[in-house]
Structure 1
């Protein structure tokens, strides 16, 4: 009788509201953690003129840190091993989120500012929805593809205008192609990870992905260990992207989605590019560029509108 009373108490509107509010705050915390990934990665790798840690070392090192923490978590929670059917999606998530995204992002940030990268990375929610439509065989509405193309064109326009301001000519920078590759890699990794989230559990997905990568990331960290002097700020930035961006941020984000509702909490992701741009000012000394903010706002607007058309009505799915 006591347990039934407690269960009924948990279902009261007041407690439901508190749970949703807590979920929203956890989602915002996750977004804040992920937003700092761009300036922190730039701080870790340095620039082409003043290099710090290599993008390869940052990729392996951050994943190795997250993998070590994941081993502890999985042991403490007595998590079961992934089934053979779960290993393929986990492997694809590993390739996209553990290797592809950080390596391409770190390489690009050697040549462009974190604010610049934030505009391109703002396409990630649309790219993830497009990957889901492709891999999960869901037919999105025409409006989604229209806004996806519009958002992509805005990013291209931003890159061309930025190139003109810097060099006096129009051109597509190599770093922008790396950033687009990072968006594609992350979106594919997210979708493959989502395929096993329902059966494995959200937190265990990121943990198993990082643990499965340890046979690659530990030797990779050792082989790419820097032989030159590296600033303490770069090491601290590596610690951040390993512990928070690669691991703890997902715990807050996934828990927030579960508690506050995915539809509501996922909208907080629209704040991510602006947090990245603002954080780059004190962390990296980057100027607050109104043109960058304007393009970021335009891209986010297309993401917000496009996500409303991401999935077609059930009768149009195949």
Structure 2
């Protein structure tokens, strides 16, 4: 049986530091949905997504130049393309569109299955064979999320739910590609080059969206957009990939257990969303399923 060896040869100090970096990234990511909610209060969804990516690239590009980061070689560009497609374009777009019709707390529970999707895709990519209990827990967590989504929409999935489920797959693919690539280059360069690679698309798209979609920028909406660009899109992924390179994809995904619960806290405290009994219970059930997959 093959295993995730990315952290085996690291010293305890390196592993501890990697764990702290991954935990910091999870805390950053947990505020992404509330920040998106704020941004949508003043900007359209396409503006939010494209400007977020373009601004993040405007930060990443000078950082790459200042560090004299070498250009990725030919073998690394396919993985960078997957990262750009997943975490720069696909996941932000799909979740932002979903949050137009779905509450932040609902989205947090559905996206709580992301570690399951990440572990499943990683096992396929790395040809890792897992015990039967792994797949039982993974399938159970998926069923729990599906049942929750259907119960909240009277038995039929909404357009927002379909967008969220699609975002799980594309983001998981970006996580796996980026985590593996971060073994051969610094994590911040992984997301930095992905942002720069996407700029020929996100730059013109941002200009078009700003000209077409009506905008009513205010303090919270601008703050939300800046947070998404500088913190979630660049800073968070920078420390996330660095943490995954130090401790491995599987162990980093285990830390992501706390993300949906933290998002629920932000949703209640900052957005005033009322959480039904099913919401935290489902989040805990998904957490247990993910914990089992990581333990086995």
> TM-score if structure 2 supplies the norm length?
0.88
Match of 2:222 among 223, 235, 238: 235
Match of 1:244 among 231, 245, 253: 231
Does residue 76 of structure 2 align to residue 83 of structure 1?
no
| CA distances 1:171-223 after superposition (whole Å, capped 9, x unpaired) | 21111110001111100111222332222222210110001111111111100
Residue of structure 1 equivalent to 2:178: 193
Q: Distance in 2 between matches of 1:23 and 1:84?
A: 28
Match of 1:124 among 95, 114, 122: 114
| CA distances 1:21-79 after superposition (whole Å, capped 9, x unpaired) | 55444332211100001111122224xxxxx4222212111111111111121111111
- Compare CA radii of gyration and give the structure with the larger one: 1
Conserved 8 A contact 2:182-2:245:
no
Aligned partner of residue 53 in structure 1, secondary structure: coil
Q: Distance in 1 between matches of 2:62 and 2:183?
A: 22
Residue of structure 2 equivalent to 1:291: 278
Summarize the Cα distance change of 1:21–1:307 in structure 2 as closer, same or farther, 3 Å threshold: closer
Displacement after TM superposition at 1:251 (Å):
2.9
Q: Distance in 2 between matches of 1:250 and 1:223?
A: 26
Residue of structure 1 equivalent to 2:199: 214
Conserved 8 A contact 2:44-2:215:
no
Does residue 40 of structure 2 align to residue 45 of structure 1?
yes
| CA distances 1:249-284 after superposition (whole Å, capped 9, x unpaired) | 123334445667776655321110010010012321
Q: Which runs of 5+ in 1 are unaligned?
A: 1-15, 47-51, 165-169, 310-318
Count of equivalent residues: 284
Does residue 139 of structure 2 align to residue 152 of structure 1?
no
Summarize the Cα distance change of 1:64–1:253 in structure 2 as closer, same or farther, 3 Å threshold: same
Conserved 8 A contact 1:44-1:58:
yes
Q: Distance in 2 between matches of 1:255 and 1:83?
A: 19
Does residue 55 of structure 2 align to residue 68 of structure 1?
no
Summarize the Cα distance change of 1:21–1:289 in structure 2 as closer, same or farther, 3 Å threshold: farther
Q: Distance in 2 between matches of 1:95 and 1:30?
A: 20
| CA distances 1:98-122 after superposition (whole Å, capped 9, x unpaired) | 1110000000000111100011111
Conserved 8 A contact 1:123-1:299:
yes
Summarize the Cα distance change of 1:145–1:295 in structure 2 as closer, same or farther, 3 Å threshold: same
> TM-score if structure 1 supplies the norm length?
0.83
